[in-house]
Structure 1
């Protein structure tokens, strides 16, 4: 983990992706090998950040987020998961809050063991590297292998008949979350199968230098207009959020909207890369980047960048929680912890992933709304088949 006590040289040698962001925020002099090997050998990271009057905590969180994405595949094999126990918890954790959540879960597991004598086994990996893990652990999962609690963001694995969808239909799960904020009340599953602990909102990062006379887009409809053809960067690599975009755009605008989204895409880039380039004039740079709200923390006052919360509401990737009804005696304490104030504040305050727990102040921008596809739509739709279809529509429009 990157902390303020390491030197700039150590950052460059051990965390190259994070070092690229560091350099882009006004430390260009360390691109010179002589400066890096001389001043960088002694200059502590915290001291350098203070010199630029940046918020140290926010800057370090941003560096660690990039570093965790870069190391995610290694993390799968090296992280010490506790896979054997009386209570089983599995899933994917959002990268920006993965470490504090794991610390909290470990402490919670110890308290459960002290109180009950039961051990808690957890296999919780970084969401950015989760596709292979999902294929290995969820696709085709048998009833006897379903964990007591499963938590992750996204749509496909939760509704697809090839994974959890068939078990939901057979009544295996029960929503064990509690009351919610009034602005999230429509996201509570009326059938009581699915729980939701938080959301990953998508917002616009607008590069005003690349607008070329165009007005700042304020809505999803604006973003799909011909004005922004080949001008938008999409989080294609973030399959949870990208699938959420496809589903919601289809709900609002039909297949034509998905085609327009493809027409307007100029490139796919990790949000951290887009933030790193904020303020740089570049012909290939998109005018608008759709990104998780979390990454707006990394802008550090860029004058050319504007964050827009869409008028129709931010499209969200839900952070779902499935809890086994037949194991309620052991699943409920875990569910109450994951839905509780402590975890909610980690999600909301450290990751900018608004939590549904009403005890958590999500500090949302004024007028912020959420665009939710709705439970009626979900229960009437084969979501697995829909996502396959929309992915094909999108890629056909790209000519891929």
Structure 2
């Protein structure tokens, strides 16, 4: 779709953006936590429950066939969206957390030995730290973190130096959920590949905001979450190289991940289904397919360009607020702004902003090590999406001024 980007056009598609909070128009700046859902996604979920509720891959009746077609159709859409190479390389999960745990327990755990290392970075979400710590504790391996600069950029030279022969897996965020830093994952993948180190990329915060081309990135594993991509909660996917999926044992056992079962043993289904035991979140993935269609209809390149402009506008506006400290000033970053106002706790700040209709997140953002790096217990975080506007940024700054003066 050509022409100037008009966020007001897309705002009409999101019912929740029409509501008020505490008598004020809602300014939703918590998109890194979860994104709002367009009406087409809501309709897709409702349509499944209203018109053709049935289990998938189990029934030959019409409802079952329709549900299976819609569910597996979502896999096709997501594979094209990510340039996955093959739909069979996409394992549906409940989100990035499950996807990373699948790699930790099915791929890493059987391979790790005492003295081995898993390399992450200081900016990782807990979901890209804790699973590695759990499998490391069971195997005698250790988890090490590559440092970042005060601006929040990965020290790539230090990361490269830490890629020693002891490293058996590396795991990095594509985009930081706290400070928005966009890591050069294709370059990181080349460094890892040259040393024979498999790389997992946490793509939770990248997929909603920029084009993700898995063939161009060249990683071994890529995890993503549906609810940040304007789809339903409880949806996500793990992409992996075909040879990894074929070699990995199942993480869960049960129905539909088998070819044959006897008391003498089980022959498992081919990937991705051997990792998808039990009845899945059918409605959720049908909704995720609708979300992918919706985003593709707008155009990720247009979304990224607009959000970059909005980020620059919001950054300038926040820097003009007296006593405000902004965390993370990487040269390449997504529309995420973590901040504190002098003398105001992050939780108090978020609570009072809510009374002005502004929704931001406060806390450690599931990134304790990053908070420790910055020397703070918590921050407030404003995270933007393509349906946010400059007028909302202005309202946000006015609310900040009001809160700051109230607590002065």
Structure 1 length-normalised TM: 0.29
> Which structure is richer in relative contact order (CA contacts within 8 A, separation 6 or more)?
2
- The structure in which a higher percent of residues are helix is 1
Structure 2 length-normalised TM: 0.28
